Amino acid sequence: MKRLDFYYFLTLGLILLALFGVPHFKHHTKHSTAAPTKEQLASHMITLLNPEGEEQGVCTATAIGPHAILTAEHCDKGGKYPSLLLDRSTEPHNVMASVYDGRDHVILLLDGAPFERYETIISATDSIYKIVVLYGDGHGEYPPVAKYGTIVSCEDPSDIDAYAGQICFTLPVIPGDSGSAIYNTKGEVVGVVTYQYTDEDSNIKAIGFALDFPQLILDTAYTFDGTEEGLPKP
């Protein structure tokens, strides 16, 4: 009797398939619908260009005004590069002026099209084990993907870097992330990625320094209009 039931249902199933076809099962895939944060939209990949217009390297920068970016000083090598590209654009931006703070940070004033999204710097030094985030653009994505880590203690035998405001992080940086602003959970900038720590026995992944720009310089960056007339007077 069981054998008969099996063939009965098998035959019935084949008839139904012939009449109605193979049923379609819809697979639901979750996609992130979260809107990019203002920090993500203000983070850009920059490609430095030499005087001949040749590409010299990639870093990350944060727009802090309509024509101003904050990045690492070692990216522009102390003003060696007169222009740059943003997010793989073909439109070069000329560097109109550079301001350094002595902690591997530089603010570059640019000409060209203005940024639509930019950050107001609220510099802060956070405590150890606090969560931090960066939007490094080493992969060339826009808006870049957020990377999370924590502030950790780090030893410096000379105490020179520590005196200069050194901060160590567990952030997984890659080449091209240098210059990225590092934010705490309040959206305050607590540092800029300056280099990567490669000791496999350490939980330190990235190192930065606290910002040390006078408010007057930041105010200039917020209002610079991208023209010669808008440059700060000596």
Whether the pLDDT of residue 52 is over 50: the answer is yes
How much of the chain, in percent, has pLDDT values that exceed 70? 82
What is the third-level CATH fold of 38-118+214-223?
Thrombin, subunit H (2.40.10)
Enclosing H/E stretch for 162: helix 160-163
158 pLDDT tier (thresholds 50, 70, 90): low
Q: Where in the chain is the domain with CATH 2.40.10.10?
A: 38-118+214-223, 131-209
Whether the pLDDT of residue 221 is over 90: the answer is yes
pLDDT tens digits, one per residue of 67-125: 999 999 999 988 899 999 999 888 899 999 999 988 899 999 999 999 999 998 888 87
In this prediction, residue 211 carries a pLDDT of: 87
In this prediction, residue 162 carries a pLDDT of: 66
**Rounded CA separation 212/85 (Å):** 26
E-only strand ranges, the chain: 43-49, 55-65, 68-72, 83-86, 93-100, 105-110, 131-134, 147-152, 166-169, 181-184, 189-196, 206-209
30 pLDDT tier (thresholds 50, 70, 90): very low
pTM: 0.81
Q: Which CATH class is domain 131-209?
A: mainly beta
- Cβ-based neighbours of 21, under 8 Å, separated by 6 or more: none
Question: In this structure, are residues 123 and 210 in contact, taking their beta carbons and an 8 Å threshold?
Answer: yes
- Strand, coil or helix: 154: coil
